[in-house]
Amino acid sequence: MASSLQFSRRTFAHMLGLGAGAALLAPVAGRGMEEHIALRARGRYWPAKLLPKDPKNLVLLNSNENPYGPSPTAREAMIEAHEVACRYPDFYADKLQEKLAAFHGFAPENVVVTCGSTELLKMCAAAFLGPGKRLVQATPTFEALAAYARRGGAEVVKVPVDGDYRHNLDALARAAQERPGLVYICNPNNPTGTVVSRPAIEKFLDKVPRETVVLVDEAYHHYVEDPGYGTLLGAVEVGRNVVIARTFSKIYGMAGLRIGYGLASRALVKKLRREVVFSSANVLGCVAAYASLEDEGFVRQNQQRNQDARNFLVQSMRARGRSVIPSHTNFVCVHVARPVRPVIRAFREQGIRVGRPFAGLPEHIRVSLGLPEEMEKFVAAFDRVFAAATRAA
C-alpha cells in the first residue's frame, strides 16, 4: 500500500507548505554524516550511550527496543525538521494521520495519532471504561492498560494464558459477558511472545457482547512469521467494535520518539479523540514516522536482523538445555528453572540488563533481541551466571 516515492527535501518542504522552504532547510540538510559525527565528538550533541537510566556500556536487553534505530531516510527527515521544531506538532500529526490512512486504505477519520501506542491504551481506558465497567485481559500481558483502568474505577479481570502461553480466548469471552466494557488482546503478546490466529480472534469477536470494545495491540506484528497470524484491519473495515493499536517504537526503531496510532471505526475514533492529550505528538517523530512508511526495504532488513538474532538466541539456549517460549516478536522468554529475581540481578552484575519479573512467569527471563555482538555477550554472561550458580549450589 505504501507509496514508492522518496521522502526527500522537496517532499518535506511541500509537506510543510514552505514553498521556498527547501532553501531554508538546505544548510542543515547539506551537512554530511562526517560533520554530524564530528559535532557529537566535540560535545555538541548529547552522547547516545550516556543514558540517564543506565551506566555507560551496559547492554540493554530489557525493553524490547530496536537497537538499529530509525532508518537513514527517517534520520534525514528529522535533521531537516529541526528547522520547524519551534512549531507545535498539530499540522505534522495531521499529515501523518493522512499518510497512515492512505497507507492502510482507510479514511483519515479512521486514524488517531498518539504519543506512542501507550497513550492510545490510556485513551481507550478513559473512553470505554470507568466505574461499573470491566476490563478483561490475559495474564501475563502488557500491564499499562490495567493500571489506567483501575485509576478510572473499572474492574480488572485477568485471565491466565493457556498451557502454551497463548491467550485463552474462550475464557476471555466468558469473562467479558459481565459488565461489558473493554477486552485487551496483545497479539503478539508481551511478555510471552506468542500469537493467536486471526480466525480464532474473529470467532472470539462473535462471542463477546455487542457493546464491548476489543482493543487489539499489534505493536509487534511486523515480526510474526506464523502463516495463521493476521492483523484485524478487516474487522475495522467492516465496522466491528475493534480498535487496533500500532507503534513506530519496534520495527521502525523509534521508541524514544513516542509515535503510535490507532485504527478504528469513525464512531470509535470520535470517542477516542475526546481523550487525546492536546499536541501530544512531536514534530521530529511525526516526520520520521512519515518517512519510515516509505521505507519498505528497511522494514524487511530489520525483520531479517531480528530473525537472525532470535534464531541465534534460541539455538544457544537449547544447546544449553534451556527451553524457550516460541516467540513471534523481538524478544524471547527463556526458562531458567529457578526464581528469576536473583538471575536478573546476576545478569546486571555481568553488565546485561534483561526484562523485569512478570506475573505467571516465575522462572522465565525475557530477553530482548539486540545487536549480534550484544547477543554474544548475553550468551557468554549466561554461561558465567549459571556456572557461578552451579558452584554456589
Residue 160 DSSP label: E
Residue 316 has a CB neighbour count (10 Å cut-off) of 19
Q: What CATH number is given to the structural domain containing 259? A: 3.40.640.10
Residue 77: name the closest of 20, 3, 16 by CA.
16
Do the Cβ atoms of 117 and 276 come closer than 8 Å? no
Q: What CATH number is given to the structural domain containing 382? A: 3.90.1150.10
- Counting the structural domains of the chain, the total is 2
Taking CA 28 as the corner, what is the angle to CA 24 and CA 30, rounded to the nearest 5 degrees? 100
Same-domain status, 169 and 310: no
Same-domain status, 110 and 194: yes
Q: Range of 195's domain?
A: 90-292
Can you give the pLDDT of all 393 residues of the chain as single tens digits? 443 334 455 555 555 544 333 333 333 334 444 554 444 444 444 444 445 455 567 899 999 999 999 999 999 999 999 999 999 999 999 999 999 999 999 999 999 999 999 999 999 999 999 999 999 999 999 999 999 999 999 999 999 999 999 999 999 999 999 898 999 999 999 999 999 999 999 999 999 999 999 999 999 999 999 999 999 999 999 999 999 999 999 999 999 999 999 999 999 999 999 999 988 899 999 999 999 998 999 999 999 999 999 999 999 999 999 999 999 999 999 999 999 999 999 999 999 999 999 999 999 999 999 999 999 999 999 999 999 655 555
Residue 13 lies in a domain: no
Give the predicted TM-score (pTM) of the model: 0.86
H or E element at residue 156: strand 155-160
Same-domain status, 188 and 332: no
25 burial class (0-12, 13-18, 19+ CB within 10 angstroms)?
Answer: buried
Same-domain status, 102 and 251: yes
131 burial class (0-12, 13-18, 19+ CB within 10 angstroms)?
Answer: exposed
Residue type, 61: L
Residue 235, CA distances (Å) to 145, 221, 232 in order: 22, 16, 5
Distance CA 377, CA 393 (A): 24
> Of 292, 317, 332, at which residue does a domain stop?
292
Same-domain status, 234 and 342: no
Distance CA 182, CA 373 (A): 42
Q: Is the dihedral of CA 327, 336, 372, 49 positive or negative?
A: positive
